[in-house]
Amino acid sequence: MENGVRVTINTDDLLIFDSTIENEYLKLYRAGTLSVDQLDEIRRAGLGSGGRP
C-alpha cells in the first residue's frame, strides 16, 4: 500500500486454514501491519465503494 500497490484481503481455504475474512483483518490489525484506516480503505476499495481508484 505504501508504494501504491493495490491490496486485497482474502481467505483461501476455510477448512484448511480455519480463518474467516474478519479474522484476517483482525490479525493484520493486531500485528500492527495495517491501521484501521488502511483496513477500511482496502475494504471499501474491494466493495467498489471508495478507496483508491
| 0.85 exceeded by pTM | no
> Mean pLDDT, the chain, as a whole number?
86
- Please tell me the predicted confidence (pLDDT) of residue 14: 78
Condensed to tens digits (0 to 9), the pLDDT of residues 18-43 reads 889 999 999 999 999 999 999 999 99
Question: How far apart are alpha carbons 7 and 11 in whole angstroms?
Answer: 13
User: What are the residues whose beta carbons fall under 8 Å from the beta carbon of 42, sequence distance 6 or more?
Assistant: 1, 7, 8, 9, 34, 51
